[in-house]
Structure 1
Amino acid sequence: MLFKFTSADLENTSIIDCSTGEVAYHVSTPGPCIRERSRSTTSIRSFATYNSSSREKFDISEPKVTSLIDSDGLAAAEIFWENKLASVIRIGEETLAGTRDLFDSSCVRVMDDETHIPTRMEYVWRTTQEELQLLDDDSEVIGTYYPDCGADDLSPAYIPGSGNDYFDLDMDRISEDEVPELFNEPVTKKGGVYILDGGLGTTLEDVFKKDISHPLWSAKPVDTEPDVIIEAHLAFLKAGADIILTSTYQCAYGTFDQAGYSREDAVRIMRKAIQLAAEARTRFLAEANQSARNIRIVLSLGPFGATLTPTQEFDGFYPTPYGPHAYDAATSKEEQANAFISKDDELRAIEALTEFHAERLRVFTDDEETWDLIDGVAFETIPLTREIQAVRRALGSLKRESKSNIDKPWWISTLYPDGLFPEKRLAGGHVEVPDVLNAMLEGAELHPDGVGINCTSMAHLGPVLEATTEYVKNRADLAGKLSLVLCPNGSDVWNPETATWEGVAEGEAKANLWASKLDEEVQAVRIGTVWPEIIAGGCCRTGPTEIAALAEKVAHAT
């Protein structure tokens, strides 16, 4: 039996029985209903749906509900959403604990060209880049999902994006009672994808032609040319970004001191950066047809290594007490260590890094007006597991000492230059992805609501993403609860010793190629129960052109 979806929005569509032309089901999701996130340990904390100004607008007792209504007007199924996660699913008289009961995430098989996602009915969804099929327990195809077709003959739409989706089911091998559940699964299985902005610093250099070779980097114009910061944010928003990062990546008391600013000026400028992002959001939403957009502002904070000269995100050579020794230009990097021999020295380094991150965070949390403008926090480009632990401790200590609610969603993103995490092992080699994720997610300290990969070349993104997904998939306590953040670099390579970009290429062709490759990675992991929310954007050498290309690719895939 062939079914036609009248809308590409699977949460709001009619499902037509093509043999009769009659409506078999209506799918309806009233909304939006944005709620302050639950403090429950079983729920995800979504960056894309969190809004510091939304908490008083909506009744938190009213969840978003998707209903599947049959031809008799009765609810055959209901999905109760917690942000982007289906937390409760009712099918007939049966109530399921969300996607965990609907799918068997522990048995998901991720292969090079396809992914198999088992369901509780012993059927399996087989997904590839080209198709979505339903298999029975003998691996025979009993259903096929056809997107963007021009007619009932399932030919592709002449104009991409103008067609309808179809679902062809072999009703001789499927019970009619199972059909409502099968229609629920495509709705709950695809995680939301949201567009993050690109590299703000390199955009200021490349697009706005600003010289930011300065200790403050992208924060330099905040004080001297604030309109440029606003225009840069606006350029990303107009390109399709749902989330923008503040121009604070390299901000810390130490960098302001290097630049000749007082601590009072440092506080003023750091808080001003948040106000400029908010002003850009206000201006963008005031434009025609943009009032319905949910734009989020995320505080960008780089590692301690970003405050050093030369910067040490790629190598993690930190001076004492933050590391065993500072970078030595006279010694080859291969001969230098960034890990401690002494456990006591490592603990002292964690304490020093904890204070560094806590001191900087207080600049924002101590001012209620500034903190209220921020929808989330991103700790970016962290090169060492001890610094990951320090970030977690810093947030935990601030939360314990604060008299007000400073709780917001946050992520940690790490980098893999040449495909390797910067931290070295004393016995040789580099710390691997599972160890990095253990540093983020194991132990009693707060763990992030999202994990990310940034400042990594597209050539190395795939293997790191595969290892990250595999780790989370195998953790029943984490799968379906963490956001994934992907921010790879553009095509060019940064040389920290010469402070130049090498292999520079320009043009829309470069942007489209970059966006296509990132979209492939996103689509490969978005179907399933591992990542309920994916945030995709760019890092160095990705500007509004790249983000516009990515937004178009993701929208078409969706």
Structure 2
Amino acid sequence: MLLRFTTVDMLNTSLIDVATGERAFEIVTEQLDETPRTPSPSSSQEFSPTSSVVLDKSMPTPSTSSVHWAQQPDSYSMKAKPCPDRRHTTITDASGKVLVDVDWKGRRPDITICGEKIGGLTELFGSSTIRFMPKVLAIPTRFDTEFVWIATGDTLSLFDYDTDTVQGSFHQNCIRIPAPSYTPKSTFIPTHLPGVGSNYLEFSSHPLAQDVEVILSFLMMEILRRGRFSLTPYTFDNPTMWQFKDARESFFRRLRRNTV
């Protein structure tokens, strides 16, 4: 399967099946509102912590943080406010059926695939062990121990150690040259410039996993890859600015390589 991303924001994009030209999947991420607060029946006062939301369980809870009691209008409790740390991602198929739900708390995902509660990244990849090598990040898949995601500073691929073959590849900022009709393969020419060309995800289906799980695993691996190799980190906000920063940093990386 060869899918083309329609935008640079991989968590807000359509995935086009290149073979048919039709939209195969839709990925949408929305910022969630805080849960509206309701006043206590016995009091019109509202408990409001002055500290920020605590996401780490090892940090003090609001009961031990600095808090104050404040008189608020009743209407305040009924208004939902945007919460910058809470987002929700869905992946739907061509018919609009929701296949994947991801609840984000900061950058921590809570994943559900086709109604199956998965949990975090440890559960998604089926292992808490990550192979750290100087220039390679290797993380297995949960559906096949011989299928391993291999990430470097420049590439991301899915490798099958049983057959010693690449089963998935991320073609980033590429111009695709269609192959003759008798072969499904395409030629990809990298532009090395973010925003120039398109991004493609190419992979072979696995009998023990749904295609959408491979797609989701790719998204998470790309976020991890950027963090591991000090690339421009994915940001939920302002994809245009993210693309500009990525282009600038990519230019300086190539410049450093050519002058060493």
C-alpha contact (below 8 Å) 1:78/1:91 kept by paired residues: yes
Secondary structure of the residue aligned to 2:189 is: coil
- Partner residue in 1 for 2:4: 4
Write the letter of the residue equivalent to 2:2: L
CA contact (8 A) 2:173 2:192 kept: no
Q: Secondary structure at the match of 1:37?
A: coil
1:144 to 169, 179, 201: 169
CA shift for structure 1 position 167: 1.1
Residues 94 and 32 of structure 1: CA distance in aligned 2, closer, same or farther (over 3 Å): closer
CA distance in 1, matches of 2:192, 2:251: 18
Change (3 A) 1:29 1:42: farther
Residue 163 in 1 paired to residue 197 in 2?
yes
Quick check: 1:154–1:166 contact (8 Å CA) kept in 2?
no
Which secondary structure does the structure 1 equivalent of 2:199 belong to?
Answer: strand
Q: Distance in 1 between matches of 2:98 and 2:149?
A: 24
Shift of residue 151 of structure 1? 2.7
Matched, 1:93 2:115: yes
Q: Which residue, out of 181, 190, 193, partners 2:213?
A: 181
In structure 2, distance between residues paired with 1:556 and 1:78: 37
- What letter matches 1:522 in structure 2? S
Question: Residue 154 of structure 2 aligns with which residue?
Answer: 130
Greater share of residues in helix: 1
Question: Which structure 2 residues correspond to residues 294-443 of structure 1 after superposition, within 5 A?
Answer: none
The alpha carbon displacement at 1:90 in A equals 0.8
Structure 2 unmatched runs, 5+ = 36-51, 60-78, 178-186, 236-243, 254-260
Tell me the residue number matched to 2:70.
none
**Offset of 1:118 from its aligned partner?**
1.3
> What's the secondary structure of 2:218's corresponding residue?
helix
How many residue pairs get aligned? The number is 197
Letter of the structure 1 residue corresponding to residue 106 of structure 2: N
- SS of aligned partner of 1:187: helix
Superposition deviation, residue 163 in structure 1: 1.9
Contact 1:84–1:191 at 8 Å: present in 2 too?
no
In 2: Cα distance, 1:2 partner to 1:550 partner = 24
Instruction: Output the amino acid matched with 2:154.
Output: E
Contact conserved, 2:193 with 2:250, CA < 8 A, in 1? no
Larger radius of gyration between Structure 1 and Structure 2: 1
Number of the residue aligned with 1:111: 133
Contact 2:173-2:193 at 8 Å conserved across structures: no
* Residues 92 and 100, structure 2, Cα contact 8 Å, conserved in 1: yes
- Residues 19 and 38 of structure 1: CA distance in aligned 2, closer, same or farther (over 3 Å): same
Secondary structure at the aligned position of 2:8 is classed as coil
Quick check: 2:153–2:225 contact (8 Å CA) kept in 1? no
Checking the alignment, whether the CA contact within 8 Å between 1:77 and 1:91 is kept in structure 2 is yes
**In 2, Cα distance between equivalents of 1:182 and 1:112:** 26
Corresponding residue of 2:90: 67
Contact 1:147 1:164 in 2 (8 A): yes
8 Å CA contact 1:144, 1:169 repeated in 2:
yes
- Listed one character per residue, the Cα deviations across residues 275-328 of structure 1 (whole Å, up to 9, x for unaligned) are xxxxxxxxxxxxxxxxxxxxxxxxxxxxxxxxxxxxxxxxxxxxxxxxxxxxxx
SS of residue paired to 2:91: strand
Q: Structure 1 segments of 4 or more deviating over 4 A?
A: 32-36, 548-551, 554-557
Match of 2:9, as an amino acid?
A: D
Q: Secondary structure at the match of 2:89?
A: strand
Give % identity: 26
- Contact kept in structure 1, 2:122 and 2:128, CA below 8 Å: no
Deviation at 1:38, TM superposition (A): 3.7
Whichever structure has more strand as a proportion of its residues is: 2
**Structure 2 counterpart of 1:41:** 57
Q: Are the counterparts in 1 of residues 55 and 105 from structure 2 also a CA contact under 8 Å?
A: no
CA RMSD of aligned residues (A): 3.9
Give the counterpart of 1:77 among 100, 103, 106. Answer: 100
> What residue in structure 2 maps to residue 267 of structure 1?
none
Distance 1:550 1:71 in 2: 31
Aligned equivalents of 2:98 and 2:131: distance in 1?
33
Counterparts of 1:192-231 in structure 2, within 5 Å, are none
Q: Give the whole-Å Cα distance in 2 for the aligned partners of 1:521 and 1:158.
A: 17
In structure 1, give the amino acid aligned to 2:131: R
- In 2, Cα distance between equivalents of 1:156 and 1:176: 32
> CA offsets, 1:493-528, max 9 Å, x none?
xxxxxxxxxxxxxxxxxxxxxxxxxxx95149x79x
8 Å CA contact 2:171–2:199 kept in 1: the answer is: yes
2:127–2:142 Cα contact (<8 Å) kept: no
Q: Which runs of 5+ in 1 are unaligned?
A: 44-55, 194-483, 485-519, 533-547
In 1, Cα distance between equivalents of 2:19 and 2:101: 26
TM-score by length of 2: 0.63
- TM (norm. structure 1) is 0.31
**Residues 104 and 117 of structure 1 are in contact (CA less than 8 Å); yes or no, is this contact kept in structure 2?**
no
Alpha-carbon distance between aligned partners in 2 of 1:70 and 1:555, rounded to the nearest angstrom: 36
1:552 aligns with 2:248: yes
* Structure 1 residue 141: Cα displacement: 1.2
In structure 1, C-alpha distance between the alignment counterparts of 2:94 and 2:245, rounded to whole Å: 41
**Cα distance in 2, alignment partners of residues 175 and 150 from structure 1:** 30
Q: CA offset at residue 71 of structure 1?
A: 0.7
CA–CA distance in 1 between the matches of 2:114 and 2:210? 10
Q: CA deviation at 1:556?
A: 9.5
Letter paired with 1:157: T
2:230 is aligned to 522
